[in-house]
A and B are shown apart, each in its own frame.
Chain A
């Protein structure tokens, strides 16, 4: 955290993340163009670029959609989660290049206004006239909205619940893009390899979300009454909590992060006040619970951010019996640090 404003809070990690991201994108584009030129030597430059940017954008969308469930399934994928917004903006840039080149190539040379041509060129009866380009445009509009509002400025002004709900439109964009690809490129390119890639991508994305969702569904729906003992609930063993890190438990569907540090144990809400980031996946840095997403900090004893910041998170009473951590079922309001 810092009291001075920076448009982007660059860190060494973020710089390295973006460098690897764009090296990966450039490498994909080079390999794609090389293989395409080998297989289709007569392909024109604009068609080659349209295919390369479109394929890169579609692949990147799959990677982005897989990061969330993978991070929930295994901690090793968490570093990919922390700078996912930069990946999303990169995806929008690739999709925009694909869309712009397609628009110029297929719609700018005729008698019709290029915008009108884009809308009416697929119109007509039959599946072969399915308006697949419109679905591509709708997905591009969603990606633009997400990229344009990815900055914290919009998160603060739109409020976290609205911002999160809006960014869930990425699933609509994914559905639109599957329709765009299946009713567009795959109508002419009938090779089983391409169909297999699109189908395999669908299985991976939806499968990972279903598996991670199923794993979270059970603790979310566990009744509270059966676990209560004088207002406290058995959470976990002290030995199971890594030093300066947390173990996340679920109480009536809400998550609580139980941290162990300097021989002490504390329990706080797992939800960061900044962007609802998972505090339990962060660690204690300089005596403060530090959110893994954007580095927001809270004092473990009080749940309040250190001055001059004013954010607060709910805290839970803790008692330890026979090496077992028990936490209160109801949270306390965070106490100000005076």
Chain B
């Protein structure tokens, strides 16, 4: 490099040495806490605390929802493979029709596991009747539904 370029090069590197690490440290320090989907605290001992109450579905026979002990938690088991994308579990107070879609009164519970198990905390709504709905968000299609029969 010729001298003017060497001088310019030195100025650039001096600036970078200050700015780049400072910006990088700021970015790392201000890293947000992200919520992580965690298992229900009682899910690990689900079987020993199972209340015996279980809800099954007419179409998706591999899917079942059981109550975690006597808490307000539910444990979802799916022994089969999902054939639709974005399959979600909803609770809704009304009786759904085939053209059902999420409404302001329905509650999105969470993801339906693909050949697996998941647990969710429901709160008081668990024993308030209504219907469990399995819905494909990708296809905007109701896949199955079943009455909520969990009781106190």
Contacts and interface: CB of A to CB of B under 8 A. Distances in A.
B23 A178 contact: yes
Nearest to A127: B30
A198 B1 CA distance: 28
A121 interface: no
A190 B31 contact: yes
A179 interface: yes
B28 A217 contact: no
Nearest to A203: B21
A253 B24 contact: no
Contact of A206 (B1, B6, B16, B32): B16
Contact of A213 (B9, B23, B27): B9
Interface residues on A, range: 20 to 34
B12 interface: yes
Contact of A171 (B2, B12, B31): B12
Interface of B is mostly: helix
A245 B27 CA distance: 49
B3 interface: yes
A168 B8 contact: yes
A229 interface: no
Given A202-B20, A206-B20, A186 B28 contact: yes
A195 B17 CA distance: 18
B13 interface: yes
A132 to B, nearest CB: 9
Contact of B24 (A126, A127, A178, A187): A178
B8 A171 contact: no
Contacts of B30: 127
Contacts of B7: 220
Contact of B20 (A130, A165, A175): A175
A165 B21 CA distance: 24
A335 interface: no
Nearest to A129: B32
B12 A127 contact: no
Interface of B: 1-3, 5-10, 12-13, 16-17, 19-21, 23-24, 27-28, 30-32, 34
7 contacts: A171-B16, A175-B20, A187-B31, A213-B9, A213-B10, A216-B6, A276-B2
Interface of A: 126-128, 130, 161, 164-165, 168, 171, 174-175, 178-179, 182-183, 186-188, 190, 195, 198-199, 202, 206, 209-210, 213, 216-217, 220, 253-254, 271, 276
